[in-house]
Structure 1
Amino acid sequence: MKERTRRVWEIFSIYLPILLMGLLALGTYWLVRNAPKPAEPPQQRAVSHEPDYFMRDFSIKTFDAKGRLQSELKGDTLKHFMDTETLEVEQARMRSINLESRVTRATANKALSNADGSEVQLFGNAIVTREEFRKAGAKPVPQMQFRGEFLHVWPNEERVKSNQPVTLSRGADKFVGDAMDFDNMTQILNMRGNVKGTLSPSPAAAQRKRG
């Protein structure tokens, strides 16, 4: 009896590691099957072209580090669209002041601006005016004004462009064209289409003519 028990124990001892490995494999399989599945990343909701905030009868001003007024934006309503990072302003009225204290104003029935205001589109009765500027010891720079149903403005680059009819006035001079591209940095004006212009004589020339 003892001999038989010893032989059974020897056989059991030989197969015990195999049984343990089998149990371990079964246990691992069971854990894999029953372990909670990793959470699936939440599906991002499609961003629609809807305003995420708006303002009414507002006024926004920006100042430089010294507290000097740089720009002001007013309007009846302002809407911000997150999908395009744009601002839409109804009855927009804008004013900016450069380092030389020269003032530029703009008005339109509607304005569409990118997030940092470096690109602005003006729709409906759009007017951009650079006011007359007088600098000590220099000749005054006459007022310059652009009028049209659409004006595309890059304030930082001092550019105004339009693919629609525009009227440009500089002092008493006036030009009209079917399209326009003006770069104040390079002082280059390009008017296209049916272009017409009226040039007024300078005050000195007019004085000489009267004399």
Structure 2
Amino acid sequence: MNPKFRLVSLVPLICVAALAGFTWWLLQAVQPREHEAAPRALTHTPDYFADNFSVSELDQSGATQYRLTASHMVHYEDDENSDLTNPAVRAFQPGKPIVTATGLRGTVNGDASIVNLYDNARILRAAGAGDPEMQADSEHFRVLVNDDVILTEKPVKLRRGLSVMTATNGMNYNNVTRVIQLYGNVRGAIAPADSGGSS
């Protein structure tokens, strides 16, 4: 038999053997090692924190629409939520008074669309456009940033100018329409000077 023919006939066999060897090596490279631990499950533990935290949301023109600030923020890895110390949410609308919601502590979800404010929670709308200052106090307020709504299920005390109202089952404040809804047993006194204005 011609030695040249024998060598040429071995080339496909060598190629198949090389391909099998490369496939085995690739399989070993991508398989997890037996001694390697499985990926760690996420737990509700802090993974980072920030002092004097501030984040702003801008409208399409680039103007600030909302700003969330806190003196301290702790972020958790499992649910992407954060705990806040001395949080404040400010809503800015062209031509309308600034609305500020604060608390001694709070939480914010991962995309900053829901902010919960606790302990001496307060909403303060500055006076403007013929409306007096408005202030609401409660144990808890939830700010729905995307809906521009602030609500609570807790008892609330509302002061608008010289008028004072209380509600046992909470309130809903729509910052777009400037409408306030009070729930439960509602009591109070509306001052004559405040009876003709909008909320």
**What is the TM-score of this pair, normalised by structure 1?**
0.66
Report deviation, 1:97: 0.6
Q: CA contact under 8 A between 2:152 and 2:172: conserved in structure 1?
A: no
Match of 1:197 among 188, 195, 199: 188
SS in structure 2 opposite 1:45? coil
Matched, 1:148 2:138: yes
Question: Superposition RMSD on alpha carbons, in Å?
Answer: 3.0
Q: CA contact under 8 A between 1:61 and 1:71: conserved in structure 2?
A: yes
CA distance, structure 1, for counterparts of residue 150 and residue 67 of structure 2: 19
One-letter amino acid of the counterpart of residue 201, structure 1: P
In the alignment, what sits opposite 2:127?
A: 132
In the alignment, what sits opposite 1:157?
A: 147
Q: CA contact under 8 A between 2:163 and 2:194: conserved in structure 1?
A: no
1:91-138 deviation digits (Å, cap 9, x = unpaired): 11232212435311121111111123221111101001122222xxxx
Count residues in correspondence: 167
SS in structure 2 opposite 1:179? coil
How do 1:40-189 and structure 2 match up within 5 A? 40=32, 43-64=38-59, 66-134=61-129, 140-184=130-174, 187=179, 189=181
SS in structure 2 opposite 1:164? coil
Identity of aligned residues (%): 27
CA distance, structure 1, for counterparts of residue 127 and residue 80 of structure 2: 34
1:144-200 deviation digits (Å, cap 9, x = unpaired): 22201111221332322222211112222111122213142563513214x311111
Q: CA contact under 8 A between 2:154 and 2:168: conserved in structure 1?
A: yes
Report deviation, 1:86: 1.4
Query: Closer, same or farther in 2 for the Cα pair 1:70/1:128, shift >3 Å?
Result: same
Report deviation, 1:48: 0.6
Q: CA contact under 8 A between 1:159 and 1:181: conserved in structure 2?
A: no
**Is the radius of gyration larger for structure 1 or structure 2?**
1
SS in structure 2 opposite 1:192? coil
Q: CA contact under 8 A between 1:51 and 1:79: conserved in structure 2?
A: yes
SS in structure 2 opposite 1:202? helix
CA distance, structure 2, for counterparts of residue 203 and residue 99 of structure 1: 24
